[in-house]
Amino acid sequence: MNKLREEPVVSSVFRQRPLAPDPSAPIPAVFVRAPSWHPSLYRKRIDRVEKAKPGDLVAVYGPNDRVLGYGLYNPRSEIAVRMTFYGENLPDDAAWQKKLEEAVSLRRDMLRLDGVTDAYRVIFAEADGLPGLVIDRLGTVLSAEAYTLGMYQRAEAILARLSSIVGTKHTVVKASPQFLSQEGYDPPGFASGELPQEVTIREYGTRFRVRFEGGHKTGFFCDQRENRKYLAGFCEGRTVLDLCCYTGGFAVQAKHLGKAAEVTGVDLDEEPLKLARENANLNQARIRFVQEDAFAYMREMWRQNRRYDVVVLDPPKLIRSRDELEEGARKHFDLNRLAMRLVKPGGLFLSCCCSGLLKESDFMHLLKQSAYQAGEVVTAATEETSERHAARSMQIIARSGAAADHPVSASVPETEYLKAVWMRVG
């Protein structure tokens, strides 16, 4: 991402827009062949477009020229329209305000997250009726990641309203890494004036530092919050290995909240590990962090006969498109097979996958195959001596996903993306 700017770039396509259109001006129109409750309308389903420019709010018409609702348009994207409002009424300021207030109410009034953390997802794209935009509250900052041109153009206005509702002081906007390939544009990130370089957030009494320049996504993985707490319950007095640890979320909670005897965190990237060490020090948690490729580290630990009571595997997103599905699944298999080898008999293994394109049933099958090949290599005395892997037993004790501030939309199954499988390995 380009360096953060204090003001958005002023250009015809990146200029920030107000939320509500001028009701006296003509509304661009898109006509579709068949209606759908899914908010993504692909170009191939569109019959014609009238007077719409990139990023416009358009009226979407179905059969008999009836208005189905309103969405944000981008002719360069395969998903040409992202439905944002349904019904015939043109969305005004009050409609946008209501959508934002309902999203905040879920987190504050129903989930009561302010009592346990000041870091949570406020807007979760389609699940909150705002496809193409995610926003996290991180202490005094609202951190947004835009996936679509229409939402990028309205990010400043949305964040201003949300800041007023939530009571935060600063805002930052990034375009997703896939913005250019999926939307056809490469917009810069921007931030409000006096955005701090970092903030310290709290999560169940544990503190974490979050930096906004150069971090992944919005800066912190709020989706694993409840899984981090649950893992801590297994860690007292035990040895823990956190693979692909990033800034140390699982590792720090295992030591600080879970009182583990020994914790090791492994990640390839230097910058996140620096922050992981700071997070450990912030909580007076003694943790060993290792900068190394997870594959190489696991093979070396296997060679040294090193085993752990608890192993966590939370790799980054390995499958970003259907073209990467086969290769990504193979990487998940190899990672899990090696990680299972390092679990002591009777120990806990937590395996996570944040690739929504990998179905849960396929992920479960992959884990079973990994267990089958995770055992010691033994020699079988037959007519021709051969080698085979002795399978390890695998008891699934729980399955979980993202925290509840990442709700699942009934009409958008891909919002249920995170898979976390908890296993006792024999």
Residue 177 sits in the same domain as residue 233: no
- Amino acid 247 reads T
The total number of structural domains that make up the chain:
3
**């192993």: which residue's tokens?**
311
Residue 127 sits in the same domain as residue 272: no
Q: What is the reported pLDDT for 8? A: 47
**15 is a domain residue:** no
Residue 82 sits in the same domain as residue 99: no
Handedness of CA 77, 79, 84, 86 (dihedral sign): positive
Closest CA to 59 of 50, 47, 51, 67: 67
pLDDT at 349 over 60: yes
**333 is a domain residue:** yes
Place 380 in a pLDDT band, splitting at 50, 70 and 90.
Answer: very low
Separation CA 389–CA 290 (nearest Å): 29
**135 is a domain residue:** yes
**358 is a domain residue:** yes
Average pLDDT of the segment spanning 266-279: 96
Q: What is the reported pLDDT for 383? A: 39
pLDDT at 384 over 80: no
Average pLDDT of the segment spanning 254-267: 98
pLDDT at 217 over 70: no
Residue 252 sits in the same domain as residue 306: yes
Q: What is the reported pLDDT for 3? A: 46
Residue 139 sits in the same domain as residue 173: yes
pLDDT tens digits for 31-53?
Answer: 998 888 899 999 999 999 999 99
Whole-prediction pTM = 0.91
Place 374 in a pLDDT band, splitting at 50, 70 and 90.
Answer: confident
3-state secondary structure of 252: helix
Closest CA to 403 of 200, 101, 147, 106: 106
Residue 189 sits in the same domain as residue 236: no
**58 is a domain residue:** yes
Residue 274 sits in the same domain as residue 190: no
Residue 166 sits in the same domain as residue 227: no
Average pLDDT of the segment spanning 368-386: 62
pLDDT at 5 over 60: no
Query: What b/e string do you get for 264-299 counting C-beta neighbours within 10 Å, with b at 16 or more?
Result: bbbbbeeebbebbbbbbebbebebebeeeebeebbe
What's the CATH number where 41 sits? 2.30.130.10
Q: What is the reported pLDDT for 215? A: 64
Helix, strand, coil shares, percent, the chain, to 5: 30, 30, 40
Q: What is the reported pLDDT for 139? A: 97
Q: What is the reported pLDDT for 10? A: 45
Average pLDDT, the chain: 92
Handedness of CA 71, 72, 74, 79 (dihedral sign): negative
Q: What are phi and psi of 173, to 5 degrees?
A: -125, 130
Residue 246 sits in the same domain as residue 340: yes
pLDDT tens digits for 148-206?
Answer: 999 999 999 999 999 999 999 999 999 999 999 999 999 999 999 999 999 999 999 99
* Cross-sheet strand order for the sheet of 29-32: 40-42, 79-86, 67-73, 57-61, 29-32, 46-50
Residue 192 sits in the same domain as residue 238: no
Residue 67 sits in the same domain as residue 138: no
Phi-psi bin for 223: left (phi > 0), alpha (psi -120 to 50), beta?
alpha
Cα 332 versus chain centre, distance: 17
Tokens of 189: 């990130």
Residue 45 sits in the same domain as residue 139: no
Separation CA 305–CA 299 (nearest Å): 10
pLDDT tens digits for 91-140?
Answer: 999 999 999 999 999 999 999 999 999 999 999 999 999 999 999 999 99
Tokens of 367: 């884990």
Per-residue three-class SS string for 25-73: CCCCEEEECCCCCCCEEEHHHEEEEECCCCCCEEEEECHHHCEEEEEEE
Cα 255–259–262 angle (5° rounding)?
A: 60
Q: Give residue 272's domain range.
A: 221-425
What's the CATH number where 295 sits? 3.40.50.150
Average pLDDT of the segment spanning 319-327: 91
* C-beta atoms surrounding 116 within 10 Å: 16
What's the CATH number where 136 sits? 3.30.750.80
Separation CA 206–CA 18 (nearest Å): 39
**418 is a domain residue:** yes
Handedness of CA 154, 128, 214, 184 (dihedral sign): negative
Place 78 in a pLDDT band, splitting at 50, 70 and 90.
Answer: very high
Place 300 in a pLDDT band, splitting at 50, 70 and 90.
Answer: very high
